[in-house]
Amino acid sequence: MSDTTAHEEPELIQLLTPEGELAGHPDYPLDISAEEIRALYRDLVLVRRVDSEAVSLQRQGELGLWASLLGQEAAQIGSGRALGERDMAFPSYREHGVAWCRGIAPKELLGMFRGVTNGGWDPHEHGFHLYTIVIGSQALHATGYAMGVQRDGAVGEDGTAVISYFGDGATSQGDTNEAFNFAAVNNAPVVFFCQNNQWAISESTERQSRVPIYRRAAGFGFPGVRVDGNDVLACLAVTRAALDNAREGNGPTLVEAFTYRMGAHTTNDDPSRYRASAELDEWKAKDPILRVRRYLENNGLADEAFFASVDTEAEAIGEQVRSECRGLVDPEPLDIFHEVYAEPNVQIDRQRSEFAEYLASFEGAGAEGGR
Amino acid sequence: MGTNLTIGKAINAGLRASMEHDPKVLVMGEDVGKLGGVFRVTDGLYKDFGADRVIDTPLAESGIVGTAIGMAMRGYRPVVEIQFDGFFFPAANQTFTQLAKMRRRSAGKLSMPVVMRIPYGGGIGAVEHHSESPEAYFTHTAGLRVVTVANPEDAYWMIQQAVRSDDPVIFLEPKRRYYEKAEVDTAAPIEEATPMGAARVARHGTDVTLLAYGPMVKTALQAAEADTDHSIEVVDLRSLSPVDYPTIVESVKRTGRLVVAHEAPLSGGPGGEIAARVTEECFYHLESPVIRVAAFDTPYPQSRLEEHYLPDLDRVLDGVDRAFAY
Ligand SMILES: Cc1ncc(C[n+]2csc(CCOP(=O)(O)OP(=O)(O)O)c2C)c(N)n1
């Protein structure tokens, strides 16, 4: 039997302790100003606010569903802020913090969870692909995109790197493992960013993997590293190094951000059925926002006025999220037929006109629904 | 003596009865253990039968179906849960190239008593890939049996019949009807239950046959109720492969008209096949062409449009009107 199991905690790359002290790491030196750290703090607070507002909107029936990122803010902001303008991200469905870093307005995300769109933003404009619901699919897309980057000769110091996000559960999928292999044999400029939030709905990481996830990479022939996923500085430094490595032509890296999903899997889920509350308490002590705040406070790098201004901004964003969500208009029935094909399609055209005629038959019929 | 059960609870009770009846029956899938499945259909089984018989699998559909095939070769009868319709696709290869063809390839030496339970269909306001009706992919594949249920009685008995079948059964569960409730006589002997291959006349009528299955049966019954101009006979298909043509043909010969309603897209859907066969067998009895009421040939839309995409009461009644317009 193997000497390590998935739940064992091997060394984590950590730059900032839960107590808010800079730890530093010889392999991942981070040259960062106080101003940049304050900016990260602001990101963390604001995405948490967007997220909590969305959870309440779902409770009020304004959203069909929401997948909360609570607890995973540092993994997402750290890695998201490591991305360069030309880089391309391939998210799953919980990457609201990365979306934030890529300039996707919260209302775009809300539209999808409200059922008004299926995503709809321009992936190329933002360097951020559409959310992917079918687990693991996007790891292959990222790898293929990275193979395209190679063929374009866009590798080198100013090159493009690609990042794919997925959870610990996704590492069980064939697609994810095939992506690892394609990336390795092609030396593709892609970073696999696994947010191990300990749970795949009700199944713990041990139901997905017998070894720590970052170690899987070795079997495919590329490096894997485990980072403290609640440490925004470590996530930034490690992802930046992995992206630079990829962009310079040295191939893929698997980054396992060791973190915790503090809320339910989605607003449909009831975690009390499968996990103990003590676990949650343990992770609360490692809160990704609190430690940055402690660091800034302890070192006199931010005053009360700064924290108050971020809170004010969070209030405003919360308000904006609420009003924008309620303002999202439903699509027209005939939108069902739009954008199915690039070329004209007689079959769709016929169904659209038949349906238009059918809808028109109710007009003037008075009572809703006709009969 | 009946027990009042929802469709979801009836499947749960049927699974429990199957596991008690045969120690070789296993349940496996994502979140089927402690959580009892995202729809709670396997609720309590883990507690009572243990982790060896209720297996929380890794998150890998190809793995789930592929290992179920291996377990079946070893004499087990796995019942796998695919969490949602749209997540069956990663297992398509194992299902179509292996599960469906194993008996034929082995010249009958290997049986595949595997049940794939799939919550399917729309109407629950979900995000994409959670509302699809992929039945035509299955019915196009020889070697699979494909069934679906529309009421708690069928849910309770058909899941047990599916488990006892030596053929692979795709067991489609209409998720928006999970909470429909009715009395089920759980004490009756299984031999007395309607065979899972048979269609059932759910409501008698004389003017037109309205054929539906799974989630659309309720809508069809509502349509029959609402239409006071015509006497509508509702047939619940129950088995999509094989199709019980004798029951359908007999009904159509009496009524002279057939309307088929389903949530799957129109083109290549089960309705087209049934229309063709009924036309062949009832040509001289038909007073009008067979009418199909179905979803459109588009991807399942965002949830705010699904009420327009799914055939509803009005669209079914419109289909009936079209049958009488000839
Ligand atoms: C192919 C596929 N199977 C099943 C599901 C249903 N599902 C949605 S999320 C989820 C768990 C995912 O866990 P993980 O990969 O760890 O990501 P997390 O949600 O924890 O971020 C499951 C089983 C799906 N979306 N896609």
Q: How far is CA B30 from CA A139, A204, B124, B146, B182, in A?
A: 20, 11, 20, 22, 28
Q: How far is CA B36 from CA A33, A169, A270, B32, B65, in A?
A: 49, 18, 11, 5, 19
Give the separation between CA A53 and CA A66, rounded to whole angstroms: 10
Q: Residues of A with catalytic annotation?
A: 261, 265, 274
Mean local confidence (pLDDT), B227-244 = 98
Q: Please check the confidence at residue B12 and state whether its pLDDT lies above 80.
A: yes
B299 interfaces chain A, CB cutoff of 8 Å: yes
B229 interfaces chain A, CB cutoff of 8 Å: no
Q: What is the pLDDT of residues A198-209, one digit of tens each?
A: 999 999 999 999
Mean local confidence (pLDDT), B34-50 = 98
Give the separation between CA A291 and CA A286, rounded to whole angstroms: 8
**pLDDT of amino acid A370:** 43
Give the Å distance between the CA of A48 and the centre of ligand 1.
22
Q: Which chain A residues are within 8 Å of B298, Cβ to Cβ?
A: 336-337, 340, 348, 351
Residue scoring higher pLDDT (A158 or B295): B295
Burial class, A336, CB count within 10 angstroms (exposed 0-12 / middle 13-18 / buried 19+): buried
Give the separation between CA B181 and CA B4, rounded to whole angstroms: 7
Q: Where are the alpha helices (DSSP H) in B149-300?
A: 152-164, 216-226, 245-255, 270-282
Q: What is the pLDDT of residues B16-36, one digit of tens each?
A: 999 999 999 999 999 999 999
Give the separation between CA A187 and CA A250, rounded to whole angstroms: 7
Q: What is the ipTM of this complex?
A: 0.95
Closest CA to A68 of A92, A102, A89, A96: A96
B296 interfaces chain A, CB cutoff of 8 Å: yes
Query: Does the Cβ of A71 fall within 6 Å of ligand 1?
Result: no
Give the separation between CA A16 and CA A33, rounded to whole angstroms: 14
Q: What is the pLDDT of residues B199-216, one digit of tens each?
A: 999 999 999 999 999 999
Rounded to 10 deg, the angle between the A73-82 and A232-245 helix axes is: 40
B105 interfaces chain A, CB cutoff of 8 Å: no
Q: What is the pLDDT of residues A142-196, one digit of tens each?
A: 999 999 999 999 999 889 999 999 999 999 999 999 999 999 999 999 999 999 9
Mean pLDDT of the residues in chain A: 95
Residues 6 or more apart from A298 whose CB is under 8 A from it? A20, A21
pLDDT over 90 percentage in chain B: 99
Closest CA to B187 of B17, B6, B15, B9: B17
Burial class, B144, CB count within 10 angstroms (exposed 0-12 / middle 13-18 / buried 19+): buried
Give the separation between CA A241 and CA A12, rounded to whole angstroms: 16
Find the catalytic residue in B130, B262, B285, B308: B130
- Report helix, strand and coil shares of chain A as percent, to nearest 5: 50, 10, 40
Q: What is the pLDDT of residues B112-121, one digit of tens each?
A: 999 999 999 9
Give the separation between CA A264 and CA A34, rounded to whole angstroms: 34
Q: Which chain B residues are within 8 Å of A201, Cβ to Cβ?
A: 30-31, 35, 38
Q: Do A200 and B125 touch (CB under 8 A)?
A: no
Residue with tokens 């009360």: A304
pTM above 0.80, yes or no: yes
Give the separation between CA A112 and CA B107, rounded to whole angstroms: 49
In the predicted model, residues of chain A with pLDDT beneath 70 are 1-10, 365-371
Closest partner CB to B34 (pick from A174, A202, A208): A202
How close does chain A come to B37, measured CA to CA in Å? 9
- Maximum CA pair distance of chain A? 75
Closest CA to B146 of B215, B97, B196: B196
Contact A84, A243 (CB under 8 A): yes
Backbone φ and ψ of A166, nearest 5°:
-165, 170
Which residue in chain B has the smallest CA separation from A134? B87
**pLDDT of amino acid A6:** 55
Q: How far is CA A68 from CA A240, B35, B163, in A?
A: 25, 19, 38
Give the Å distance between the CA of A95 and the centre of ligand 1.
13
Q: What is the pLDDT of residues B140-182, one digit of tens each?
A: 999 999 999 999 999 999 999 999 999 999 999 999 999 999 9
**pLDDT of amino acid A3:** 44
Q: What is the pLDDT of residues A230-258, one digit of tens each?
A: 999 999 999 999 999 999 999 999 999 99
A:B CB pairs within 8 Å: 124
Length of chain B: 326
Burial class, A95, CB count within 10 angstroms (exposed 0-12 / middle 13-18 / buried 19+): buried
User: Residue B151 has what DSSP assignment?
Assistant: S
Q: Please check the confidence at residue B287 and state whether its pLDDT lies above 70.
A: yes
Q: Please check the confidence at residue B66 and state whether its pLDDT lies above 70.
A: yes
How close does chain B come to A320, measured CA to CA in Å? 22
Give the separation between CA A125 and CA A148, rounded to whole angstroms: 17
Q: Do A112 and B127 touch (CB under 8 A)?
A: yes
Q: String of b and e for B260-287 (b: at least 16 CB within 10 Å)?
A: bbbbbbbeebbbbbbbeebeebbeeebe
Contact B102, B70 (CB under 8 A): no
Give the separation between CA B7 and CA B151, rounded to whole angstroms: 6
Which residue in chain B has the smallest CA separation from A118? B302
**Tokens at residue B120, please?**
């399917």
**Tokens at residue A112, please?**
């999808």
Query: Which mutation among A65, A72, A135 tests ligand 1's pocket best, with the greatest number of atoms within 8 A of CB?
Result: A135
How close does chain B come to A106, measured CA to CA in Å? 17
Give the Å distance between the CA of A170 and the centre of ligand 1.
7
Please tell me the residue having the least CA distance from ligand 1 atom 18: A167
- Report helix, strand and coil shares of chain B as percent, to nearest 5: 40, 20, 40
Which residue in chain B has the smallest CA separation from A200? B59
Residue with tokens 């593709």: A188
Q: Please check the confidence at residue B323 and state whether its pLDDT lies above 80.
A: yes
Give the Å distance between the CA of A171 and the centre of ligand 1.
10
Residues 6 or more apart from B105 whose CB is under 8 A from it? none
